[in-house]
Homo-oligomer: A and B are copies of this chain.
């Protein structure tokens, strides 16, 4: 690998570590300030080689980011995947899912061992969660909704 390219990629890392860069053209302009003139095409290649990805907050090193985002807790993920609707009724909370979704969703809810739940029953597309009181049901519902934010 040529010294030139190496140096350029080093500068790219340096720039990205300190500032937020919105686009490859933006990066190109910043490099130009350092007397490094290359085209966007070259930067596209550099960024791939360096394994940098574009995020909402500019280009970032792939490892350096903690972010929960993807590895959501299992329940949050299950809710996103299966939950179609909440149907509260007194101290009961009914969750509707697509066909076949109730069992896995109920399992995920059970796994959390919420204090509010007295028990759960899962059919094919419906999960029935029984709580101790209407108040408990409201709280549980709130928690579940929170997970969907």
- A-side residues, CB < 8 A to B, are 1, 3, 6-7, 9-11, 13-14, 48, 50-56, 60-72, 77-85, 98, 148-149
Q: Are A62 and B69 within 8 A (Cβ)? A: yes
Copies of the protein in its oligomer? 2
Kindly list chain B residues whose C-beta atoms are within 8 Å of the C-beta of A72: 13
- Identify A70's interface contact among B11, B62, B67, B85, CB under 8 A: B62
Q: How far is the CB of A108 from chain B (nearest CB, A)?
A: 12
Q: Are A81 and B148 within 8 A (Cβ)? A: no
A70 and B52 in contact, given A77-B13, A148-B1 (Cβ under 8 angstroms) = yes
Q: Closest residue of chain B to A53, judged by CB?
A: B53
Q: Are B69 and A61 within 8 A (Cβ)? A: yes
Q: Closest residue of chain B to A61, judged by CB?
A: B70
- Identify A68's interface contact among B1, B11, B63, CB under 8 A: B63
Bound together, the chains give a CA A79 to CA B10 distance in angstroms of: 8
Q: Can you report 20 residue pairs joining A to B where beta carbons are below 8 Å apart?
A: A3-B83, A7-B80, A7-B81, A7-B82, A7-B98, A10-B79, A11-B81, A13-B72, A48-B56, A51-B55, A51-B67, A53-B55, A53-B62, A54-B54, A55-B62, A61-B69, A61-B71, A62-B69, A63-B67, A64-B70
